[in-house]
Amino acid sequence: MRLTALRKPTRLTSLRTRLASGDPPLLRTRLCAFPLAFLLALGLCCAPAWGIASSTTATITPTLLPDRLGAEGALQLVIRYSTDESAVPLPVRSTVLRFPIGLGVEIPHLRSCSPTRLRNHGPSACPTQSLLGHGHATAEAHVGSEIVSEGIDLTLFVGPFHNLQPTFEILGQGYSPFDERVVLSGTVRPDNPPYGEDLVLSIPPIATLPLEPDASIVSMSLTVGTAKPRHPITVNTIIVPPNCPLGGFPFAAEFTYADGSTGSALASALCP
């Protein structure tokens, strides 16, 4: 994963150097592709790639706002899962998300929120500077003869560094019929072109009732950054890559489902 200082993109090793020398962490930081990875992690799934092919498939629709190279703005990602074998897709247990080179996040003031704090006290307990985005998801589960559906509010935060690697936290908060919270944590690792970095995300089971199956995410929409002008410059935004490859900005994902089956997906965001 690429982490850069100020407006000059820098490799993550630069951050390591700063921390080792005792310099304060970046005040203005770019966290390339992390948020995107989280978004994708929640929902990407798809055509079988390795292992036992899954019966669950997914579609991904990324949208960059504004639609301009090098611009600061927002990324909206919509993911929908479906399955042919039952009305509810399989729960996702782990995901590896791949993001295009150059995609980043502008973070004027680097702050983080721990998953424990997020889980115990909710979004209001986190520094506002650590907020990266908002979204919504829908979870479903078979209980009895019914499919119970629940809306989930998503909030994305910068997480604490782990082994000098940035992390991200996604809080999922459902209210009815179950008032429950779940926190997803992700770590970043470098990838090969055309991808910049991967986000490795572990997704805990979303329990419903004892003896009943876990819930599955069937759709989600997450917006990272903001397309609105920043006054003052305090909110975090997405940085659209300065160059767009032929065919658009590439995204990919690999998924492992609760039954052990796997799948993968490719998607691209159109060039401006």
Partner 1 sequence: MTGRARLLCAGLLVCVCLLLAAAAWATETLTVNEAFTPDKLGAPTNLSVAAQFSSSTGAPPSPIAKLTLYAPAGLGVDARGTGTCDETTLRLRGPQACPATSRVGFGGGVGLIELPKEVIREPFTIDFFFAPREHGHLTLLAYASAIAPVAVEITVIAKEVPAPAPYGLGFSVEIPPISTLPGATLASVESAFASFGSPNVAYYETVHGKRRLVHLKGVVVPKTCPRGGFPTEGTIDFADGSTLTVNPTIPCPHG
User: Given the complex with partner 1, which of 37 and 218 has the nearer CB atom?
Assistant: 218
Shortest CB 182 distance to partner 1, Å: 12
Shortest CB 173 distance to partner 1, Å: 11
Q: Any idea what DSSP says for residue 61?
A: E
Task: Give residues with Cβ within 8 angstroms of 212, minimum separation 6.
Answer: 141, 142, 143, 144
- Say how far apart CA 189 and CA 187 lie, in whole Å: 7
Shortest CB 41 distance to partner 1, Å: 25
Shortest CB 121 distance to partner 1, Å: 17
- Say how far apart CA 31 and CA 64 lie, in whole Å: 16
User: Given the complex with partner 1, which of 210 and 232 has the nearer CB atom?
Assistant: 210
- What are the two backbone dihedrals, phi and then psi, of residue 193, each rounded to the nearest 5 degrees? -55, 145
Here the tokens at position 112 are 């983080």
- Say how far apart CA 155 and CA 168 lie, in whole Å: 11
User: Given the complex with partner 1, which of 174 and 186 has the nearer CB atom?
Assistant: 174
Contact 123, 213 (CB under 8 A): no
User: Given the complex with partner 1, which of 143 and 271 has the nearer CB atom?
Assistant: 143
Binding site for partner 1 (CB under 8 A): 143-146, 175-180, 209-212
Q: Any idea what DSSP says for residue 14?
A: H
User: Given the complex with partner 1, which of 161 and 178 has the nearer CB atom?
Assistant: 178
Shortest CB 142 distance to partner 1, Å: 8
Can you list the pairs that 16-23 forms with residues at least 24 positions away whose Cβ atoms lie under 8 Å? 16/164, 19/161, 19/164
User: Given the complex with partner 1, which of 29 and 208 has the nearer CB atom?
Assistant: 208
Shortest CB 208 distance to partner 1, Å: 8
Radius of gyration from C-alpha coordinates of the chain: 18
Contact 263, 254 (CB under 8 A): yes
148, 87, 206, 35: CA torsion to nearest 10: -110
